[in-house]
């Protein structure tokens, strides 16, 4: 148990950040899943639209320190490659 004010404040702050980070990760996962579902359905137009919506979410996660920069770059690159490989 925390015995001084700064430790108590740290506990409160960590709990707040946990909620924010987890909700942000959920949004990222959902947006990436929408792209993957559109790719699986074979709809290139929908996949492109979903990809355009997912990119800012991934970049925001990167800038906020939730995801590593290389992880975001790899995910974006692989999703884009899968979209481009789809038959038009």
Among positive and negative, which fits the CA dihedral 42, 44, 45, 51? Answer: positive
pLDDT at 88 over 80: no
Local structure of residue 2 (DSSP, 8 states): -
Ordered domains of the chain (ranges, CATH):
5-84 (1.20.58.110)
pLDDT at 15 over 80: yes
pLDDT at 79 over 80: yes
Local structure of residue 64 (DSSP, 8 states): T
Tally of residues, the chain: 88
pLDDT at 35 over 90: yes
In contact, 24 and 66? CB cutoff 8 Å? yes
In contact, 47 and 39? CB cutoff 8 Å? yes
Distance separating alpha carbons of residues 44 and 27, to the nearest angstrom: 22
């Amino acid at each position: 148990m925390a015995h001084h004010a700064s430790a108590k404040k740290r506990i409160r702050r960590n709990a707040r950040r946990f909620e924010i980070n987890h909700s942000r990760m959920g949004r990222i996962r959902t947006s990436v899943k929408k792209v993957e579902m559109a790719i699986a359905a074979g709809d290139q137009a929908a996949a492109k639209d979903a990809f355009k919506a997912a990119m800012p979410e991934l970049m925001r996660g990167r800038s906020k320190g939730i995801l590593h920069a290389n992880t975001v770059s790899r995910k974006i690159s692989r999703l884009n490659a899968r979209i481009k490989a789809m038959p038009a």
